[in-house]
């Protein structure tokens, strides 16, 4: 999904920095740092910088250096900085303090509505994405919309369905991210 999102951003002539945070092994402390392999078509593009980092066992899946890396990429003139985390759980929302727009990516049928409400991750998401929507499990996006409609946020988060492998819906995702960012900058 990030690979396709990079393409959408670059099509507008914007530069991109990507920080991919991979989980560290609780046994060895090592990390595979393999997410950037999925983005290899962007390696020769000088407008894209991709850096993998290990979570280093930090709670919330974000190493302490990620905040500094986000600031550095911004200071180096990257128009958009994407931070991919190891994922969030009931307390893993530290990334929301480091980014302007938080995107929650789910897979169809990956969890039930009660789990989503209990985890609280829908509360911090600015945009919700159901990726791999081509896999079926119909109703995932609609179920999420229903849960969000019961929330008390002033602005209801958009729910976008994507099929990253087929480049479907990624342009809609990028538009929604920009809309949230533009709204925040105006207020």
**How much of the chain is helix, strand and coil, in % rounded to 5?**
40, 15, 40
What is the reported pLDDT for 83?
93
Structure tokens at 129: 């994405």
| Residues 83, 67: Cα–Cα separation, whole Å | 10
| Residues 137, 121: Cα–Cα separation, whole Å | 21
What is the reported pLDDT for 169?
95
What is the reported pLDDT for 142?
82
Q: What is the block-wise mean pLDDT of the chain (187 residues), using blocks of 10 residues?
A: 95 95 66 66 91 72 83 96 77 80 83 58 87 74 81 80 94 97 90
What is the reported pLDDT for 49?
94
155: how many CB neighbours lie within 10 A of its CB?
10
What is the reported pLDDT for 146?
82
Sign of CA dihedral 20, 21, 25, 30: positive
152: how many CB neighbours lie within 10 A of its CB?
5
Closest CA to 55 of 46, 63, 65, 67: 63
What is the reported pLDDT for 110?
60
What is the reported pLDDT for 61?
61
What is the reported pLDDT for 102?
92
What is the reported pLDDT for 141?
82
What is the reported pLDDT for 25?
65
């Amino acid at each position: 999904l990030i690979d396709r999102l990079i393409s959408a951003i670059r099509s507008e002539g914007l530069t991109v920095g990507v920080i991919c945070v991979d989980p560290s092994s609780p046994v060895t402390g090592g990390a595979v740092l393999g997410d950037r392999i999925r983005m290899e078509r962007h390696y020769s593009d000088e407008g894209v910088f991709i850096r993998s980092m290990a979570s280093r066992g930090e709670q919330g899946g974000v190493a302490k250096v990620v905040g500094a890396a986000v600031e550095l990429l911004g200071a180096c003139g990257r128009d958009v900085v994407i931070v991919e985390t190891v994922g969030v759980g009931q307390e893993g929302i530290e990334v929301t303090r480091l980014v302007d727009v938080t995107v929650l990516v789910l897979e169809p049928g990956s969890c039930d509505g009660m789990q989503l409400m209990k985890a609280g991750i829908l509360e911090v998401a600015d945009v919700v994405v159901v990726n791999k929507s081509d896999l079926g499990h119909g109703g995932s996006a609609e179920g999420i919309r229903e849960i969000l409609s019961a929330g008390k946020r002033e602005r209801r988060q958009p729910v976008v369905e994507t099929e990253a492998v087929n480049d479907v819906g990624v342009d809609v995702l990028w538009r929604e991210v920009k809309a949230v960012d533009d709204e925040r900058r105006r207020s």
